[in-house]
Structure 1
Amino acid sequence: MTMEMMVEKKHFSKELKLLLFFLESKFEDKDLSKEKERFKDIDWEHFLQLTLHHRVYPILYKRIKKLNGEFVPAKVLGTLQKYYQKNIFQMLMLTGESESISRIFSEQRIRTLFLKGSILGAHLYGDLSLRTSSDIDILIPIEDLERAESTLLNLGYVKDDYILTVLNDWKWRHHHITFMHPQKNIKLEIHWRLNPGPSWNQSFEDLWERKKESSIADFPLYVLGEEDLFLFLVSHGARHGWSRLRWLVDIDRLVIRDLDWSCIKKLLKKYQLTQVGGQALLLSSELLNSYSPPELKEISNSKKSKKMAEGALFYIKQLVNLHVEPLPEEIANYHKSHLFLLMSFKQKVLFILSFLFPYPEDALALPLPKALHFLYFPLRPFLWAIRRKRKQAMLQEDVT
């Protein structure tokens, strides 16, 4: 651990330290009679708030229940039980819908890989009730996107993500479209790539070839192979600043499986995720006492991985919710900087060059016939300057 991480951890609240204690990889092996100091002067309302924010209440409920009323107030256990039971219903509903979607897509000859969600809960935890999820995430080949959308609309889903695009930039700037079912109150995301640009993404064919079948349902539900799942989980968690401890618990559960670490090391390098993988392993090891594979020790101990791990503590020690916009200016600026830090040199170059590619806002500012959209390339600097000037003028008006 770096000195900066040690200092940051010292500034964690007692409630956050207790939460991390409960989430530790080998919590069941601990003698709690020697840990009584941890439970003194705890603000249990804040502890619950942290538990709900980090989406780890199913595991907390199971572990606190085994204490038989010791250390933790009954009211806290009762609240956790309420959320745990609600989560069981949610996971069963999402699993049933996932099976239904898989059947229908199969009939349409649309290959599907399920990401995260209730299926991941069953796959990693052996119990779908131990992981929370609010939606269904499916990866499909991009060429099947139009048919998948049509199928979902016929099933009563409503397209929620109407992506503005110019010159087909949606294909690489974005990575999923969101649908909502108003009657079932189910959110479903269709992905055509695992990560948004700028990023190197594994091809669907490679992922499909290495897929695994989940045993959670009668009809086949396919998930990513273990090594591909590791890459996806570390890139997803990093992109969200590890602002939910649930994602680190996923890593903790995954690293104890029989993974091919030499294969993972090659994949991390190939897809420009080496230091992101190191960040995940370092955070999981230091915060949850997770297994740290010796094959990747050089990566997790690298200077950049340590710096990235230090940066993630900003999100973990606070109740940062990146899904609620607009973000406070301080958090928004920090997140932009952290995302840039996560990038490899090649990704940073690609990211900077992407600003030269026209944005949908350019087409809104100066509508042109589709045949003339190529003119947005030379016009982009001028359109950007005009929009910036207008924004500054509006800010000055608000001040006055």
Structure 2
Amino acid sequence: MDDVSSSCTRSIHLINSAEFKLLVALTDPAPDKRQHEIADAVQSVGTNAIDWKHFLQLVSWHRVVPQVYLGLVAYKDNIPGNIFNQLYRSNFKIQRISLRQSAWLVKISQLFESNQVRFIPIKGVALSQLLYSDSGCRQSKDLDIIIDCADVNTAEQLLTEKMGFKRKHPPETATSEEIDFLNRCTKDRVYQHPGDKIVLEVHWRFLTDSSILEVPFDELIKSSMQQQFHHQTLRILSYDYLWLYQSLHGTAAGWYRLHWLSDIAKMLVSFKPDWHRLLKMADQYHCQKCLFEAVCLASQIYHIPIPEAFYSYKQQFWQQRLSTPLALHLLSSAQIQSFFIEFWRRLFWMPKQYFCLYLLYKLCQRPRGSVSWYRQHPHRYILYYLLRPVAFVIRRCWIR
């Protein structure tokens, strides 16, 4: 308990630091409030209150370079020249990557459309275009799309044979039995283009725990919206499903990057849903607590009022707030959640019956990283399940 208390105290100190406050001000979704907060924060430069080296580390870790650069352009005379030049170079590099990602997304859309493969972009440049009206305003490291599980092999054939992508996961050496196993137990395949180094993740479910936000793909297509993206019409998630996915993704990861919360804050300000309908949907798909945590954290960091509809779920809402200090600790200290923090947090946000399944999955079935440890004749592939707990113990205890 002392360790938890000290972590929470340290988190409060880091969140109240001048560097983190400036970062929050630069990513605030409310323009008027943002300009006022940026001006106040930059004025403190004269008192040497900002450690610019630490600030740049935070900007890089939280993947908010474009927003920070655009916000500081008007104040570049108040900022050390070498700091602003580093931001300029980083932003220029990210804009070039965003342009390449956008070009590839258009090419993939055209190829899939001509071969009757339906897909929906779920993050990346398409989300940036939707939220910020600029495909380069939101920093992203890869492209993410979701397709029907029945089209996974067709999509892979098109990507590898027509576009030159190489599969990174599962590895190209994986057997058909291993791939079938991974299709049942994971949520995506990862590809990379050897020329542009663009990474593409092809999902067929939102989360590895298939019981959470398990939405039929036909329902996603039926409810989807259309978006103009570089002269190409794309299907994108409806606002309701976008809310649920963004909340689930951030909660499962532990909210250790600010750009996930800045997206939630932007949606809180500019894309307000019918909260009663959304809360019912979240309950239906077992991710209501994820939605509670997303809104709670965004409102706490960006000082946005919590929707009144949440207070009709007082018990669930306040229970979920118990896990937010751990998320704040990960966010402020710039670290990925360990297995034990993930374990503790999932106690709060997962329904209890699914938490038990999650434990079983972690101990016995999670194949990433150890699927190629043991190769057997297909009839003896069941032995993999016996070796899996050993691999788990080695990875968690010895390798670290």
TM-score grouping bracket, smaller chain normalisation? 0.7 to 0.9
What is the aligned counterpart of 2:66 among 58, 72, 76?
A: 58
Matched, 1:254 2:267: yes
1:212, distance to aligned residue in structure 2 (A): 1.2
Verify the 8 A CA contact 1:25 1:289 in the aligned structure 2.
no
1:385, distance to aligned residue in structure 2 (A): 7.1
1:352, distance to aligned residue in structure 2 (A): 3.7
Matched, 1:316 2:320: no
- The CA deviation string for residues 181-212 of structure 1, in whole angstroms up to 9 with x for no partner, is 00121111110111111532111111111111
What is the aligned counterpart of 2:13 among 3, 10, 20?
A: 10
Verify the 8 A CA contact 2:320 2:348 in the aligned structure 1.
no
Matched, 1:79 2:91: no
Verify the 8 A CA contact 1:160 1:180 in the aligned structure 2.
yes
CA distance in structure 1 between the partners assigned to 2:260 and 2:246 by the alignment: 7
What is the aligned counterpart of 1:101 among 81, 104, 108?
A: 108
Partner SS for 1:278: helix
1:178 is aligned to: 190
Amino-acid identity (%):
22
1:25 is aligned to: 29
1:110 is aligned to: 117
CA distance in structure 1 between the partners assigned to 2:113 and 2:106 by the alignment: 10
- State the TM-score, normalized to the length of structure 2: 0.83
1:353, distance to aligned residue in structure 2 (A): 4.6
What is the aligned counterpart of 1:242 among 227, 238, 255?
A: 255
Q: Partner amino acid for 1:202?
A: V
What is the aligned counterpart of 1:207 among 220, 235, 260?
A: 220
Q: Partner amino acid for 2:201?
A: E
| 1:135-174 correspondence to structure 2 within 5 Å | 135-154=142-161, 155-162=163-170, 168-174=180-186
Q: Partner amino acid for 1:259?
A: P
- State the TM-score, normalized to the length of structure 1: 0.83
1:156, distance to aligned residue in structure 2 (A): 0.7
CA distance in structure 2 between the partners assigned to 1:20 and 1:38 by the alignment: 15
Deviates more, 1:335-344 or 1:40-49: 335-344
**What's the RMSD between the two structures over aligned residues?**
3.2
1:124 is aligned to: 131
Matched, 1:48 2:56: yes
What is the aligned counterpart of 1:197 among 209, 216, 237?
A: 209
Q: Partner amino acid for 1:9?
A: I
Partner SS for 2:53: helix
Verify the 8 A CA contact 1:119 1:216 in the aligned structure 2.
yes
- The CA deviation string for residues 83-102 of structure 1, in whole angstroms up to 9 with x for no partner, is 22222221111111101100
CA distance in structure 2 between the partners assigned to 1:286 and 1:174 by the alignment: 33
CA distance in structure 2 between the partners assigned to 1:307 and 1:190 by the alignment: 34
1:167, distance to aligned residue in structure 2 (A): 9.8
What is the aligned counterpart of 1:284 among 267, 289, 298?
A: 298
- The CA deviation string for residues 186-242 of structure 1, in whole angstroms up to 9 with x for no partner, is 111110111111532111111111111121222221111111001111111111111
Task: Check 1:388–1:10 CA distance in 2 against 1; reply closer, same or farther (3 A cut).
Answer: closer
Task: Check 1:383–1:278 CA distance in 2 against 1; reply closer, same or farther (3 A cut).
Answer: same
Partner SS for 1:160: strand
Matched, 1:367 2:376: yes
CA distance in structure 2 between the partners assigned to 1:337 and 1:146 by the alignment: 36
1:123, distance to aligned residue in structure 2 (A): 0.4
- The CA deviation string for residues 344-375 of structure 1, in whole angstroms up to 9 with x for no partner, is 212113224546866766996583543x65x6
